[in-house]
């Protein structure tokens, strides 16, 4: 491999190389890091941020952004718990079909909100930065209104399996993360919708002139992100066995950070699901490493912020190149 090819490889896979260096560093300095249980724990912890990051990749590649995903996680958890409680009449062990009904309603609600954000962008011309910022506040208020500011405990005894169960020794959320990765990877790389997303983000006017329905494409991207956030809320509600209005607080920043670190361009039209996975895995490994190293939690926030700033700089530098 020539020096030119090496430079091209490093430029295109810079975060993968950095992730590998981080793995090597932590493996040699933190006892137990490379154990199977710890690696599965990292994957379980990044399952929800990862799923939402895949949806956010769609949105950012299309040239938009969604700041409401954290609040969508919270309201989805609360809404699911409230529906189960209401439909079962407060039964100690609700039937499975009641839980399934709650899932369907919650995911449908999320899809409607995502579509509404897309409509606002199209019909009103409101930037998604503004509309989703407002939606973040609305959904957070709705979560507190439904729950009266307290957790709702209404789930059956088997409900923990979704967030805490294991299948063949692997946590269930890891399977859900894998399914989300496969779906979004195939859509973005092998479908007409995927090509439309790249086209719209790269040059919206050229995409429109080539016959692509720009606003429908953007609305579908917003719907994907909202639905993944709703599924994330269901997973988190299973982890704590209740619907809490504080679930997912600040998650939007973590997701957007992972997407940026993964090389998805904030200018749209560039990025990949693989890059988003590398970004969210990098943050997951970093947080796990700092915990094993005994870092102060407040120091962890400073380190994360510094890395996000560095990632934005690298992203911008590569775009200029």
Rg of the chain's alpha carbons, rounded to an integer?
A: 20
pLDDT-derived band at 12, boundaries 50, 70, 90:
low
105 vs 91: CA distance, rounded Å: 19
CA torsion sign for 158, 162, 164, 169 is: positive
17-39, pLDDT tens digit by residue?
778 888 888 888 888 888 889 99
For the stretch 283-310, pLDDT in tens is: 899 888 888 888 887 887 887 778 767 7
pLDDT at 48 over 90: yes
Tokens of residue 265, six digits: 């361009």
Q: Which residue has the higher pLDDT, 18 or 143?
A: 143
What are the structure tokens assigned to 233, written together?
Answer: 């809320």
CA–CA distance, 221 with 62 (Å, rounded to integer):
8
Judge whether residue 201 has pLDDT over 90: no
Q: Does the pLDDT at position 197 exceed 80?
A: yes
Q: Tell me: the pLDDT tens digits for 210-264?
A: 888 888 899 999 999 999 999 999 999 999 888 888 888 888 888 988 888 888 8
Of residues 315 and 195, the one with the higher pLDDT is 195
pLDDT score for 223: 93
- At 191, give phi and psi (nearest 5°): -130, 165
11 C-beta neighbours (distance < 10 Å), count: 12
Instruction: Give the pLDDT confidence score for residue 319 in this predicted structure.
Output: 58
Copy the structure tokens of residue 24. 């090597």
Q: What are phi and psi of 152, to 5 degrees?
A: -110, 120
Q: Which is more confidently placed, 149 or 65?
A: 65
Q: What is the mean pLDDT of residues 151-164?
A: 88
Residues in the chain: 321
Residue 124: count other Cβ atoms within 10 Å of its Cβ.
9
Q: Is 243 in contact with 81 (CB distance < 8 Å)?
A: yes
| Integer Cα distance of 255 and 66 in angstroms | 10
Q: Check: CB of residue 74 under 8 Å from CB of residue 140.
A: yes
Q: What is the pLDDT of residue 206?
A: 85
The average pLDDT across 138-157 equals 89
Look at the block and give the residue holding tokens 């920043």: 253
Other C-beta atoms closer than 10 Å to the C-beta of 181 total 18
CB 79 within 8 A of CB 245: no
**254: which residues sit within 8 A by CB, 6+ positions away?**
49, 283
Average pLDDT, the chain: 87
pLDDT of residue 44: 93
- Region 117-123 average pLDDT: 84
The tokens of 318 are what? 């590569």
How many CB atoms are closer than 10 A to CB 237? Answer: 31
Residue-level pLDDT at 19 = 81
Close Cβ partners of 71 (under 8 Å, ≥ 6 residues apart): 135, 136, 137, 138, 139, 140, 143, 248, 252
Into which CATH architecture does domain 40-320 fall?
A: Orthogonal Bundle (1.10)
CA–centroid distance for 98 within its chain: 27
DSSP 126-151: --HHHHHHHHHHHHHHHHHHHHTTS-
Residue whose C-alpha is closest to residue 279's, from 233, 246, 249, 312: 312
Token pair belonging to 297: 């939690």
Which three-class secondary structure state does DSSP give residue 170?
A: strand
Percentage of residues of the chain with pLDDT beyond 70: 93
Q: Please give the pLDDT value at position 78.
A: 94
**Helix/strand/coil (H/E/C) assignment for every residue in 174-221:** HHHHHHHHHHHHHHHHHCHHHHHHHHHHHCHHHHHHCCCCHHHHHHHH
């Amino acid at each position: 491999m020539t020096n030119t090819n090496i430079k091209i490889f490093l430029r295109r896979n810079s975060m993968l190389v950095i992730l590998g260096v981080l793995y090597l560093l932590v493996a040699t300095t933190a006892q137990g890091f490379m154990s199977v249980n710890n690696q599965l724990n990292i994957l379980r912890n990044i399952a929800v941020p990862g799923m939402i990051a895949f949806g956010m990749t769609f949105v950012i590649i299309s040239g938009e952004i969604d700041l409401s995903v954290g609040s969508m996680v919270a309201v989805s958890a609360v809404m699911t718990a409230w529906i189960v409680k209401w439909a079962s009449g407060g039964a100690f062990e609700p039937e499975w079909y009641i839980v399934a009904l709650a899932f369907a309603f919650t995911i449908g609600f999320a899809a409607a909100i995502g579509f509404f954000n897309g409509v606002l962008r199209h019909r009103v011309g409101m930037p998604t930065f503004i509309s989703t910022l407002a939606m973040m506040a609305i959904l957070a208020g709705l979560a507190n209104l439904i729950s009266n500011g307290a957790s709702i405990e209404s789930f059956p005894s088997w409900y923990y399996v979704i967030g805490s169960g294991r299948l063949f020794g692997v946590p269930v959320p890891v399977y859900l993360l894998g399914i989300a990765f496969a779906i979004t990877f195939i859509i973005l790389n092998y479908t007409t919708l995927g090509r439309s997303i790249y086209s719209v983000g790269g040059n919206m006017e050229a995409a429109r002139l080539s016959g692509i329905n720009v606003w429908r494409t953007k609305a579908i991207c917003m719907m994907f992100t909202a639905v993944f956030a709703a599924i994330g809320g269901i997973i988190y509600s299973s982890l704590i066995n209740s619907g809490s209005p504080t679930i997912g607080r600040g998650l939007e920043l973590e997701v957007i950070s992972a997407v940026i670190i993964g090389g998805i361009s904030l200018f749209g039209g560039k990025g990949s699901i693989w890059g988003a996975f590398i970004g969210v895995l990098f943050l997951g490994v970093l947080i796990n490493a700092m915990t094993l190293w005994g870092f102060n939690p407040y120091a962890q926030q400073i380190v994360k912020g510094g890395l996000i700033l560095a990632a934005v700089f690298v992203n911008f530098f590569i775009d200029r190149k």
